[in-house]
Amino acid sequence: MAEQDLSGPRTTRGERTAARLRMAAREAFATTGFVGARVEDITAIAGVSHGTFYTYFDNKSAVLDSLVELASERLLHVVDESWEGEDVWATVHDVIARFVDALAEEGDVISAWIEAATNDQHFRDELRIVRSQYTEAVAGHLAPVLADTRHDPGVAAGALVAMVEGYTVDRLAVAGSEGRSSAVHTLATLWVGGLIRMSSDR
């Protein structure tokens, strides 16, 4: 489910309208959930007609698909950024801070995505694929640390990523910036402590 390939949306004005519809959809999904939101809600928030909506998107699932694509690109970009640094704790702290910020800011999209995935195989598959991609990226960074240990980098990455994703989307995305610094500090401490313990388990 993707945006329709029409000449209108390719223009600068068209791109702005599509972006306005995506933002309106985010607001509608955040307010009433994906299932509860209607195309009428999105068009009312965006201040456009139904005809305009259908010029850009087939239905509300197509809007969510577009939002998911953007959120996925951002999350994958974050985990692909540098993990280099002499101070291990500070490096992990910076990585988690970037990941937390991305997850919190995309929290409304992720929540709608998870809700849609409960009843839609397409979104369920996309969620699994994207989670696998950024978990594999994290596993690649952990592999040297866990080499010659009894621990699988993929399992470790899956557990550590789930910890950050779950807490951020469930708590920080709702609470906003309140508690963000403390949460990042705690999550980084848990990651580093866990990695130190795993790296010595040979």
Residue 122 and residue 85 in one domain: yes
Average pLDDT on 151-166 reads 92
pLDDT for residue 11: 66
DSSP label at residue 59 = S
Residue 16 and residue 86 in one domain: no
**Per-residue pLDDT tens over the stretch 20-48:** 999 999 999 999 999 999 999 999 999 99
Residue 95, domain member (yes or no): yes
CATH code of residue 21: 1.10.10
- Mean pLDDT taken over the chain: 88
- Check pLDDT > 70 for residue 148: yes
CATH code of residue 72: 1.10.357
What lies within 8 Å, CB to CB, of 77 at 6+ separation is none
Q: What are phi and psi of 201, to 5 degrees?
A: -90, 80
Nearest CA to 169 out of 117, 92, 115, 110 is that of 110
**Domain count within the chain:** 2
**Per-residue pLDDT tens over the stretch 72-130:** 999 888 888 878 888 888 988 998 999 888 888 898 899 999 999 999 999 999 999 99
**Structural domain harbouring 124:** 67-199
Residue with tokens 């010029």: 55
